[in-house]
Homo-oligomer: A and B are copies of this chain.
């Protein structure tokens, strides 16, 4: 029995009429209509099963029964707001606090990563009494007015760059200014931030915050070089600013070895503000800002209430708690290490075989496969990446691209991804790249 209310054709026609076209579809030439999902699999209206390699939001797996159950029980019991006392919000904050350094212990619950980053900006400005923000090139921090301002990925198209926003180079050690071959790329990239702060000060401006994703995603699945964050934090603190770690895409154990992406930067580093979102509620609109007592106190001292209608409601917190339980009970961090590690090895093997693979990078189930036309120039193989995405879709595998040239295939699947899934993806990529090479060789003959 079909679950469709409308035929796919009608769905598409009505969507074109009723939904703003700025809301784009995957595979716009031949979009996919998904009817149901489970774990790492999506099923379309014809019952075809797609392997989902990109839904980091559905962190513990699509439609996990424990999450649905927790939501339904709490929805039946109570869903009010934070102006009333409730156990779930504090229990949840306490559980999250246990995953974080002691310094980070005051929570604000909101509904989206964008709301979280906007609040982080407010907290930083209130605490520092400064206004300016340093961000990494190609960064994306959200769809709100204030966040488009600090997202080069957006404001380079929508412009103009605000006078209070300053862009530091993306610490991309594959194709950036400083590379893995440099003696200390972490220090070298941190020095670019130090220099930028000097420039800002020369203009008479003052730094409120340095914003960065712990692993820059839209920028191209970037792993920040060793020592970078601790050094940047030192420079930013010296300028009176705070360090905001945006964990919206990458938090909650995705990197496997740690619960938070920023922890890859070692124990010497702790951000002043951390924002969380996408995977937090496994699809439920749930996000959060955590900060220090001092920053929270400065925000309280402005004397103005912060009220977020839905933020931290009992249902959202029950769902958040259930997500934490599943991560632990199913050892999804262990799985991210194991499967992510295996997939990375498979992709590294493919790199030896296919010159078009310029770089394989990542941690846990956050991986990037960068395609280049030639190894020396590192010319982005944008068209080939698009073709690979299209071809994998025909093979019922959903991936997509990131990076300034859309030449980085990203993997950030539900954390229940399996060895078989990893091997299937690697096999299909191998087949496609072999086809390209053959075709290139044939053209060359």
Contact = CB atoms under 8 A, between A and B. Distances in A.
A172 interface: no
A122 B154 CA distance: 13
Interface string A157-172: 1100000000000000
A405 interface: no
A75 interface: yes
Interface in A369-409: none
Interface string A80-110: 1111111101110110010000000111100
A154 B309 CA distance: 16
A306 B144 CA distance: 10
B283 A315 contact: yes
Nearest to A154: B304
B63 A79 contact: yes
A114 B114 CA distance: 11
Interface stretch (A31-39, A196-204, A228-236, A415-423): A31-39
B23 A77 contact: no
Interface residues of A, number: 101
A78 B316 CA distance: 18
| Among A17, A112, A157: residue with most chain B CB under 10 A | A112
Contacts of A87: 4-6, 11
Nearest to A105: B18
A246 interface: no
A440 interface: no
A221 interface: no
A85 B15 contact: yes
Given A23-B307, A58-B79, A86 B34 contact: yes
Nearest to A122: B145
B85 A33 contact: yes
Contact of A19 (B72, B89, B305): B89
Contacts of A94: 14, 18
A304 B18 contact: no
Contacts of A33: 84-86
Contacts of A121: 145
Given A107-B19, A111-B111, A158-B302, A75 B71 contact: yes
A353 interface: no
Contact of A15 (B89, B105, B122, B302): B89
A183 interface: no
Contacts of A291: 20
A307 B143 contact: yes
B20 A300 contact: yes
9 contacts: A6-B87, A8-B85, A18-B97, A21-B300, A23-B82, A57-B309, A71-B72, A158-B302, A283-B313
3 nearest interchain CB pairs?
A22-B306, A285-B285, A33-B85
